[in-house]
């Protein structure tokens, strides 16, 4: 059911989204624990593809953006692999990962027509302390954003919390050209979920709404450009970026992070926020 363009899911539909979310979570966990120097991003993609299939799910990334049902011209992977100064939408391929790199891995899956979408950033071997800190700050801002969501609140409460979290922790670039989004029977739906903004604005947060929150934070500029491959988004100054994402919903008891293996219980409770899953 749609209410002013926003899809309101039934509890049963949310359960399907949880199944899709768990496929995404286990795929990312597999990649996080497997990725190492010497691997190519195409090898990561192949592992993810096999895993998604083995779970009985299909990919919502593969063929995304195609101009025809054939999938020709659409995205060529089941994950996005964005290395170092690449912010989002990197295409898996022949690039070999080296010690000292960081990689954002963005993954999605579909179960029974319902979508999940999440991303993590992983360090390959040793990276400078400021890069480790960039990753920590970005992931924290994601959880602070989700923790700010309440039934009856507004979408920009999340945006404001993400921005405030990042600003409180140092001088970082917050990418504004890309945002989080509604998600459900399609991967990208209204409303957008910006990573900056004043609270109390935008769509109302109601039961059955599902949102993907995805801060993209850089060590310097917030400005980006897209490479000639028409997908890969990089920082204009070459500064490195981190990207984390989860899909979540709100129930009567609190927030339920559909793409976290524990439903977000540990991180939400650490922030003093009620957990809404089961
Ligand atoms: Mg994503
Ligand atoms: Mg997303």
Ligand with smallest separation from the Cα of 211: 2
User: What residues are neighbours of ligand 2 (ion), with CB under 5 Å?
Assistant: 117, 212
241 Cα–ligand 2 center, Å: 16
Structure confidence at residue 109 as a pLDDT band (50, 70, 90): very high
- pLDDT tens sequence across 111-167: 999 999 999 999 999 999 999 999 999 999 999 999 999 999 999 999 999 999 999
Q: Are the C-beta atoms of 178 and 87 separated by less than 8 Å? A: yes
Query: Percentage of the chain with pLDDT > 70?
Result: 98
* pLDDT (average), residues 43-50: 98
Mean pLDDT of the chain: 96
Q: Does residue 68 have a pLDDT over 60?
A: no
Q: Which pLDDT belongs to residue 69?
A: 56
* pLDDT (average), residues 227-255: 97
108 Cα–ligand 1 center, Å: 6
207 Cα–ligand 2 center, Å: 20
- pLDDT tens sequence across 178-230: 999 999 999 999 999 999 999 999 999 999 999 999 999 999 999 999 999 99
Q: Which pLDDT belongs to residue 49?
A: 98
Which domains does the chain possess? Answer: 2-270 (3.90.230.10)
205 Cα–ligand 2 center, Å: 18
Q: Are the C-beta atoms of 105 and 78 separated by less than 8 Å? A: no
Strand ranges of the sheet holding 79-83, from the earlier edge strand across to the other edge: 79-83, 102-111, 114-123
Q: DSSP assignment of 243-272, as one string? A: E-BEEEEEETTEEEETTSTTTTHHHHHHTT
pTM of the predicted model as reported, rounded to 2 decimal places: 0.97
243 Cα–ligand 1 center, Å: 9
Q: Note the residue count of the chain.
A: 278
107 Cα–ligand 2 center, Å: 9
Q: Could you give the CA distance from residue 125 to residue 74 in angstroms, rounded to a whole number? A: 32
Ligand with smallest separation from the Cα of 89: 1
């Amino acid at each position: 059911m749609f209410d002013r363009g926003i899809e309101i899911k039934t509890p049963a539909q949310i359960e399907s989204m949880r199944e899709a979310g768990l496929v995404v979570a286990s795929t990312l966990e597999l990649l996080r624990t497997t990725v190492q120097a010497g691997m190519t991003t195409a090898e990561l993609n192949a592992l993810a593809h096999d895993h998604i299939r083995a779970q009985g799910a299909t990919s919502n990334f593969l063929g995304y953006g195609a101009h025809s049902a054939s999938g020709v011209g659409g995205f060529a992977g089941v994950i996005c692999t964005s290395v170092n100064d690449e912010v989002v939408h990197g295409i898996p391929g022949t690039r070999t990962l080296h010690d000292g790199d960081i990689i954002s891995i963005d993954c999605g899956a579909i179960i029974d027509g319902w979508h999940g979408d999440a991303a993590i950033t992983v360090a390959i071997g040793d990276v400078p302390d400021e890069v480790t800190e960039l990753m920590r700050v970005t992931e924290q801002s994601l959880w602070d954003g989700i923790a700010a969501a309440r039934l009856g609140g507004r979408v920009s409460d999340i945006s404001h919390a993400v921005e405030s979290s990042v600003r409180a922790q140092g001088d970082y670039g917050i990418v504004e050209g890309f945002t989080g989004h509604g998600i459900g029977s399609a991967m990208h739906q209204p409303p957008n979920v910006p990573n900056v903004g004043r609270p109390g604005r935008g769509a109302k947060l109601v039961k059955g709404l599902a949102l993907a929150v995805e801060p993209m934070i850089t060590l310097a500029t917030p400005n980006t450009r897209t490479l000639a491959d028409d997908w890969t988004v990089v920082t204009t100054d070459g500064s490195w970026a981190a990207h984390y994402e989860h899909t979540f919903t709100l129930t009567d008891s609190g927030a339920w992070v559909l793409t976290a293996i524990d439903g977000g219980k540990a991180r939400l409770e650490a922030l003093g926020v009620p957990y809404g899953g089961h």
